Structure 1
Amino acid sequence: MATRRGFIGGATGISTAALLGYSATPSAADTEAPVPAVTQAQARESLFAVNAGMRANYATLKAELIKHLAPVVVVQNDAKGGRFTLVTKDGQESSNPVPQTFELAKSIAHVPLGIFSVIASYLADKIPNLPNADRIDPHDLVMVAFNDDTSTAWIEPLKAYAARLTTARNNLSAAGLPAALTTSCRNIIDGGLKFINASIAAKYFDMKSFEDFSGSVYPDIRTNMEHASQAQISGVREIMKTWRAKVGEEDWADLYCVVISQWTTSVLNQNTIIIKDCMNAAKVATHLIDLPGLEPPADPIFTALDNLARIVQDNIAAEMVFPKDTVVADALKGQQDLLSDEILKQIGSNTVTTLSAPSYNTITTASASGVCPVPH
C-alpha cells in the first residue's frame, strides 16, 4: 500500500506544490488583499465592537455563574429588622427572624423625626444660638427650610400626626411590651404631643423649641434603641445558627453574605455587625459584602446574586488577567477603579483621602457584645 509519504515522493511530472493544490509562485490572488478604505468613524466603531464583544462574553459568564453560587445569605434591610434568604444548590428559603419588639421600639423612637419631617421646610433659615450651632451647615439649612417661615401650613399635617400619636398612646398598655420599653415609649409620645400642642397653640415653633423637645426625650430613645438591638441580635443569631446546621460546617466555611442597604446605613450596618460573628472568621473580609444603593431594588435576591457573580468572577479574572501585577489585580478584585492609580500618578498625588470602611473582623460594639451561639 502506498503511504502518503511514498505517494508524494513518487509523483513524477507534477510538482508537489501543484499536487497539493497551490502554486510555488504566488499569484496576485494569493497576495494579501488591500484593506478597503474606511472612515475614521468606521474604524473607531470596529474598535468599540471589541469591547462590546467583551461585555457580551462577560455577561454570559455572569449569567451562568449565578446558577452556581452557593451557599449565600442575602439580607434585605427593612423596617422589620431584615429579611434573610438562604441560597443553596437545592433552592432558596426566606425568613424575617427579628422579633416585633425591634420594629415597635424603633417606631416610637422615630417620633421626633416624624415631627421634624413636617416642620422642617418651615424653619427660619437663620441659625439661632444653639449648643450645636457650629455643626449646622447654613447652606444645607437654606435648602431644607424652603417654605415661608411665617406660614402656618404645617398645622394641619402636624395635627394629623398628633392623632396617630394619641391613638398609639391610648393603646400602648395593650401592646404587651416590656415594662421599661412601655415607659420609654409613653414618655416619647407624651413629649411629642406636648411639643405639637404648644406649637399649634402659639402658631409658632423654631429650632430651639424643637431641640428642647428632642433633647428631653433622648434618654427614652436610648432605651428604645437598646431593646431594638437586643431583639435584632437574638433573631439574626438564631436564624444563622439554624441555617449553619442545615448547610453543614464544610459548606458554611465558604459562605458568602450579601447585605443590601441604603447608602446612609451601609457603614457599620447593624445586620453586618451581627452576621460577621456567625461566619468563618478567616473569610469575613472577602465574603461579607455590603451592597449599598439608593433605594431597595425591585428584585433584591437577583440584584445580590448578580453583583456577587461579578465579584466572584472578577476575583478569578484578576489573578489570571494580571498575573504579573498584583496591585492592578487587587484593584480589579475590589472597589478600586483600575485607572485610579494611574490618574493619581498623573495628577501628582500618590494617595486619595476616603472614608475608611470598618474592619468587621475587629469591630466591637456594646450592643453586639457577647459570644455568638454558633460554634466557630
Structure 2
Amino acid sequence: MATRRGFIGGATGVGTAALLGYSATPSAADTVTATAVTQTQARESMFAVNAGMRANYATLKAELIKHLSPVVVVQNDAKGGRFTLVTQDGQESVNPVSQTFELAKSIAHTPLGIFSVIASYLADKIPNLPNADRIDPHDLVMVAYNDDASTAWIEPLKAYAAKLSTARTNLPAAGLPAALQTSCATILDGALAFIKTSVAAKHFDMASFEQFSGSVYPAIRTNMEHASQAQIKGVQDIMKTWRAKVGETAWADLYCVVISQWTTSVLNQNTIIIKDCMNAAKVATHLIDLPGLEPPADPIFTALDNLARIVQDNIAAEMVFPKDTVVADALKGQQDLLSDEILKQLGSNNVTAQAAPLYNTVATPGVCPVRK
C-alpha cells in the first residue's frame, strides 16, 4: 500500500497541486508587484508566519496537557518534597517524608544561619586558611559589602541565638533517635559558643567561623544521614503505593517531573531516589529535572505545561525533521536548534553538550521496594 508521503511524492508538481485542491496558476493576489508592498509590510507578513506557528503550537500544548497521564510531579521543599500523582482520574498530593527529615536538616543548617548574619561584615581579605585558594577574591568582596569594623551584626546574631537556645532546651522532648539528638545538641552547643565568644569580643573573622563550622561538621554528617534515610523511605513508599494504584502497564510509561531551584538541580535528592522506582528503559527520557529561580506560583501547571512541550516536541522532531536525526534530537532535547550551526560557524563544531548526570546506574538489587 502506498503511503501518503510516497503517493504525493510520486505525483507531478501540477498533478499534486490539483490533487490537494489548489491551482498551480498564480491568482491575481499572487501577482501584486513587489513595489506595491513596503519592506516593513513584507517583513511583518513574514513575522506573522511565526506568530501563527506559535498560536497553533500553544493550542496543541494546551489541549495535550489534558491527556498527560500518568505523571508524578515533585515540588522540592523543606519537608522533603510534595508529590502529586496526575492521572486521567484526577490528582492527589502528599508530603510522604517523615518529620525526621526536616528536623535533622533544620539543625544542620545552623552554621549557614549564622553565616547569613555575619557574611556582609567579613573582612574582604582572605586569611591563611586551608581552603584559601578555593575562595574567589572578587566574590568575597561582593559578599562582604559592609564595614568589617561595624558591630551592627550583634543584635541580629543575638536574636538568632535566642532561637538556637530555645531549640537546645527543648531538644530532649523532640523524641528523636539517640544519635540524632546527640548530633543536634553538638551543633547547637557549638553555635551558641561561637556566638557568645564573638559577641563578647565584638569581633569575628573567617578563621574563627571556619573553626566553628569545622568542629560541628561530623555532627552535621550524622544529621544528613538521618535526613537521607527518612527521605528514601518516604519517597519509595509513596511510589510503591502509586505503582500499585496505576498498574504495571501504565507505570511503565510514567513521566516524573522534579521542580527544583538551579542550585540543587544536578543530582537532586528526589531525582536520585525516584530513578530506581521507574521503568529503567525510560528513565533517560521520562525523568525530567525542571530547575528554576524560585518555586512557581502554580507548580503542577508549570510541570504539566513544560511536559506537554517536551512530549509534543518529541513527536514533532521526528516528523518535521525526518531526514536529519541530529537536528531532530536537538528539537527533542535541551539543545537549541541553531546550536550546531553556530558552533560550526564559530569553528567549535566539536563541542558537545554536557552529559546528563548519572544517577546510581548500577543499583544494588532490592534497594528499591518497587523495582521490577
Q: CA deviation at 1:355?
A: 4.8
Q: Deviations over 1:26-79 (max 9, x none)?
A: xxx979753471211111000000000000000000000000000000000000
SS of 2:36's equivalent in the other structure is: coil
SS at match of 1:153: coil
**8 A contact 1:105–1:185 mirrored in 2:** yes
2:95 counterpart letter in structure 1: N
Q: In structure 2, what is the equivalent of residue 288 of structure 1?
A: 287
Q: Which residue of 2 aligns with 1:205?
A: 204
CA distance in 1: counterparts of 2:268 and 2:120, whole angstroms: 29
Residue in structure 1 matched with residue 260 of structure 2 by the alignment: 261
Structure 2 SS opposite 1:278: coil
- Residue in 1 that maps onto 2:5: none
C-alpha distance 217-318 of structure 1, shift in aligned 2 (>3 A): same
What's the RMSD between the two structures over aligned residues?
Answer: 1.6
Would the aligned equivalents of 1:285 and 1:360 in 2 still touch at CA under 8 Å?
A: no
One-letter amino acid of the structure 2 residue matched with residue 294 of structure 1: L
Letter in 2 for 1:223: T
Query: TM-score under structure 1 normalisation?
Result: 0.89
Gaps of 5+ in 2: 1-26
1:344 paired residue number: 343
* 1:279 correspondence with 2:278: yes
Cα distance change on mapping 1:361 and 1:226 into 2, 3 Å: closer
Q: Which residue of 2 aligns with 1:119?
A: 118
Distance 1:347 1:375 in 2: 46
Q: Give TM-score scaled by structure 2 length.
A: 0.90
Q: Which amino acid aligns with 1:113?
A: L
State the aligned residue count: 345
Separation in structure 2 between the aligned mates of residue 244 and residue 270 of structure 1, nearest angstrom: 20
Deviations 1:332-368 (A, max 9, x none): 000000000000000001233665421236166xxx9
- Paired residues of 2:276 and 2:371 also in contact (CA < 8 A): no
**1:6-21 residue pairs with structure 2 within 5 A?**
none
Contact 1:285 1:359 in 2 (8 A): no
Q: Which residue matches 2:72?
A: 73
Deviations 1:231-251 (CA, angstroms, capped at 9, x unpaired): 000000000000000000000
Amino acid at match of 1:261: S
Letter in 2 for 1:371: V
- After superposition, the C-alpha distances for 1:300-354 in whole angstroms (9 at most, x for unaligned) are 0000000000000000000000000000000000000000000000000123366
Partner secondary structure for residue 324 of structure 1: coil
Q: Which runs of structure 2 are paired with 1:19-34 in the superposition (5 Å)?
A: 34=32
> 1:170 deviation in Å?
0.5
Match of 1:371 among 356, 367, 372: 367
Partners of 1:187 and 1:217 within 8 A in 2: yes
Aligned counterparts of 1:316 and 1:118: Cα–Cα separation in 2: 51
CA distance in 2, matches of 1:374, 1:268: 21
Q: Deviations over 1:200-259 (max 9, x none)?
A: 000000000000000000000000000000000000000000000000000000000000
Matches within 5 A, 1:1-150: 34-35=32-33, 37-150=36-149
CA change 1:64–1:32 in 2 (3 A) is closer
Task: Note the C-alpha offset of 1:87.
Answer: 0.2
Looking at structure 1, the residues matched to 108 and 362 of structure 2 have their Cα atoms a distance apart, in angstroms, of 25
> What is the alpha-carbon distance in structure 1 between the residues aligned to residue 251 and residue 30 of structure 2?
59
Q: 1:204 to 1:56 in 2, by over 3 A?
A: same
CA distance 1:170–1:326, change in 2 (3 Å): same
Instruction: Tell me, in whole angstroms, the C-alpha distance in 2 between the residues paired with 1:340 and 1:296.
Output: 29
SS of corresponding position for 2:67: coil
C-alpha change, 1:256 and 1:145, in structure 2 (3 Å) is same
> Structure 1 221/336 Cα, relative in aligned 2: closer, same or farther at 3 Å?
same
Measured at CA, do residues 269 and 363 of structure 1 come closer, stay the same or move farther in structure 2, by a change above 3 Å?
farther
CA 1:67–1:30 in structure 2 vs 1: closer, same or farther (change >3 Å)? closer
What SS does the aligned partner of 1:129 have?
coil
Gaps (5+ residues) in structure 1? Answer: 1-28
SS in 1 for 2:276: helix
Higher mean C-alpha deviation, range 317-326 or range 347-356: 347-356
Structure 1 stretches (4+) deviating beyond 4 angstroms? 29-33
Aligned to 1:298: 297
Give the conservation status (yes or no) of the 8 Å contact 2:272–2:360: no
Q: Structure 1: which amino acid aligns with 2:336? A: D
1:169 aligns with 2:165: no
Question: Does the CA-based 8 Å contact 2:80-2:97 persist in structure 1?
Answer: yes
